[in-house]
Amino acid sequence: MVERTLCIVKPDAFKARAAGAILSRILAAGLDVVAARVVHLTRSQAEGFYHVHRERPFFPTLVQFMTEGPVLVMVLQGDNAIQRWRDLMGPTNPAQAAPGTIRKDHGTNIERNAVHGSDAPATAAFETHYFFSDLEQIHPVIG
């Protein structure tokens, strides 16, 4: 089933100039990029995006981290894109990630783990539309 999911190259990986290498892996894995932009999130934008974690103890440091520099946000599309992107990223904690995953290769710790990806179809729908309207996403031509 063709799905869409959100990808964020977080400030740590963006600052380390790893965005190109990460994009290359995404494309090599057969996922298509249907929308992309570089943004520097404000505190309000980061809090809105991560609102589901508002009551978690790591919320303040997550917001601080996500606002400390630019990020590359992309909408990825492909068959089973959500799970394929999650497999390519690896576990949230880079110390537990398999060799060859993005988080193992570019993440530092559980908080500075290089990339974000949606975890389910409903989350992907919210997250992709948080950053991109339907008009900003490439759609297949019908007919």
The CATH number of residue 84's host domain is 3.30.70.141
Residue 142 counted as domain residue: no
Residue 141 counted as domain residue: no
Per the structure, the complete domain to which residue 30 belongs is given by 2-136
What's this model's pTM, rounded to 2 decimal places?
0.93
Asked if residue 111 has pLDDT above 60, the reply is yes
Q: What radius of gyration do the chain's Cα atoms show? A: 14
The string of pLDDT tens digits covering residues 9-47 is: 999 999 999 999 999 999 999 999 999 999 999 999 999
Residue 143 counted as domain residue: no
Euclidean distance between CA atoms 109 and 64, whole angstroms: 15
Asked if residue 143 has pLDDT above 60, the reply is no
Residue 71's H or E segment, with its range, is strand 71-79
Euclidean distance between CA atoms 6 and 48, whole angstroms: 15
Residue 37 counted as domain residue: yes
The string of pLDDT tens digits covering residues 112-123 is: 999 999 999 999
The string of pLDDT tens digits covering residues 52-105 is: 999 999 999 999 999 999 999 999 999 999 999 999 999 999 999 999 999 999
Given 53, 106, 116, 129, the catalytic residue: 116
Distance set, CA 135 to CA 45, 84, 129 (Å): 20, 25, 10
Q: How many domains does the structure of the chain reveal?
A: 1
Residue 96 counted as domain residue: yes
Is 139 catalytic? The answer is: no
Return the pLDDT at 138.
83
Residue 94 counted as domain residue: yes
Return the pLDDT at 126.
97
